[in-house]
Amino acid sequence: MTVPEPPTGADHPFFDEAVARRLLDDGTVLFAALADDGTIRWMSESSAFLLGTASADLLGRNALEILHEDDHEIVIETMAEAARGAEDRIRVALRLRHARDGWISLEFGGIDLREPDGTGLFLVWGSPHEATGRLLGFLNLLLAGADLDDLLAQVAVWHDDTMPGTRTTILVREPDGGYRNRARSASLPAELAVELPPTRADDADTPWGRAVHSAATEVEVDLDRLPPSVAAAAAAGDLRAVWAVPVTTPGQPHPSAVVVSWRSRPGPMLATHRRQVENTLQIMRLAIEWSTAQRDLVAAATTDSLTGLANRTQLESRVDEDRSALAAVLFVDLDDFKAVNDHHGHQVGDRILTEAARRMEGAVRATDLLVRLGGDEFAVWCADLDEPSTAERVAERLVATMDVPIEVDGHAHHIGCSVGVALVAADDPQAGDLAHLLTAADRALYRAKRAGKGRWVTVDHTPPLPFT
């Protein structure tokens, strides 16, 4: 089969005036030609569809008159950059006045045909863009409870799609003060998924380190100044510049994150780039603040506010999910707390409870869950026990650590504790019933109290345990 040669020159269909007119006037793209001062010299008839205004009614007006005032600066700056010869521009979303529907958003590109003396035209075109769809997709993830890493992965893809020639990595500040990589472009070499250890988070001599320290955007076009392994990876990936932009939040002393954009083109960040970066930062702030709020809500619902320990809600979840062949619940009561609390007041009592919690944290295993049930009552869930004596050794350490007096404002208070231990096997039909297990452990605790306090007693929770 013979493949026909594509049309060229005057035979090309785009040279047909009727075809060109339909493309310009009947499509969903707005075309315009602007003079050096922004005056509209020509506009396609698609303005009637997109703006609700015939092009004839817009000729001779300044483009700024139909542009949202918050977008004036970027348009003026972009035209000035184009006049200086800047070519690495990207499309940018602008808001235009609609005759009936307020403001509409179109994504614009442009070609500068002006002469050095200001004559000639600046050609622009704008079309509806996907920002709404992307935002809805992001919000759906947000509302579905996606974790921060999934949200940031979406942000990285979005950022790359709207910034051609960019591959992104996102660093998020951790509780230890370091910045860990939480999302990156799929095509970005692993060596460029940079991080900042906590010991160097503020002073690392890299663009991302300087961005954290200065809370300002850092642009590096000489990649040889980067650490050798990073510079080599960038060169191998044909990357020629890197931008590091901190995500700042009012009232916070440190950036919550840093967006590191590796660029295949050299050169500075232009106005259109800055606009898109700011859009990305706004979405990132939403993701981080939402994630933080969700984490705080979960913490409030599952954490004791005084001691910082887990609360009963968290214990219920752990017991319900546990599948240990052998486990135990330990019921801990501070023996002489009530008398001290009544005599010295709640402020002293709260400090004693806080210190008791700290000590007990040091007595349990790393895998155990220590819980404050309320008042002077605590519980420990010991999962994956090799034998009953493992739980008993935890109980023994709890009694020992609380046998040492607690000092508050120069006064030593001997509080002590008693522990009831209830063992449970996975095949027991009531293994996931926390109320039943606590009742069994409470009865064991009662026996420890009856025996003289400051000790522990172990029971199998299955048979009934009368208070004798």
Q: What is the pLDDT of residue 466?
A: 42
Q: Is residue 466 included in any domain, yes or no? A: no
What pLDDT does 465 receive?
A: 42
**Which stretches of the chain drop beneath a pLDDT of 70?**
1-17, 19-21, 23, 26-27, 101, 129-134, 200-203, 461-468
Question: Could you give the maximum distance between any two Cα atoms of the chain, in Å?
Answer: 107
Q: What is the pLDDT of residue 266?
A: 86
Same domain, 28 and 112: yes
Give the per-residue pLDDT at 84: 82
Instruction: For 142-187, write each residue's pLDDT tens digit.
Output: 888 889 999 999 899 888 878 878 999 999 999 899 999 999 998 8
Token pair 């614009």 is at which residue? Answer: 108
Same domain, 121 and 146: no
Token code pair at residue 140: 């759906």
Look up residue 369 and give its two tokens. Answer: 């869950």
Q: Which of 299, 331, 361 is the last residue of a domain?
A: 299
Do 285 and 329 have their domain in common? no
What is the CATH number for 184? Answer: 3.30.450.40
What residues make up the domain containing 402? 312-460
Same domain, 330 and 198: no
pLDDT confidence of residue 14: 47
Domain count of the chain? 3
Residue 416 near residue 448, CB atoms below 8 Å: no
CATH classification of the domain holding 33: 3.30.450.20
pLDDT of residue 143: 80
**219 within domain boundaries:** yes
Give the model's pLDDT for residue 463. 44
In angstroms, rounded to a whole number, what is the distance separating the alpha carbons of residues 281 and 246? 8
Query: Is 364 among the domain residues?
Result: yes
Q: What is the pLDDT of residues 98-157, one digit of tens each?
A: 887 678 888 898 888 888 888 889 999 988 766 566 677 788 888 888 899 999 998 998
Q: State residue 292's pLDDT score.
A: 84
| In a shared domain, residues 268 and 152 | yes
Query: Is residue 395 located within the same domain as residue 261?
Result: no
Indicate whether 210 and 122 sit together in one domain: no
Please indicate, yes or no, whether residues 87 and 160 belong to a single structural domain of this protein: no
Provide CB contacts within 8 A for 310, sequence distance 6+.
302, 303, 304, 318, 369, 370, 371, 372
* pLDDT at site 73: 93
- 0.75 exceeded by the pTM? no
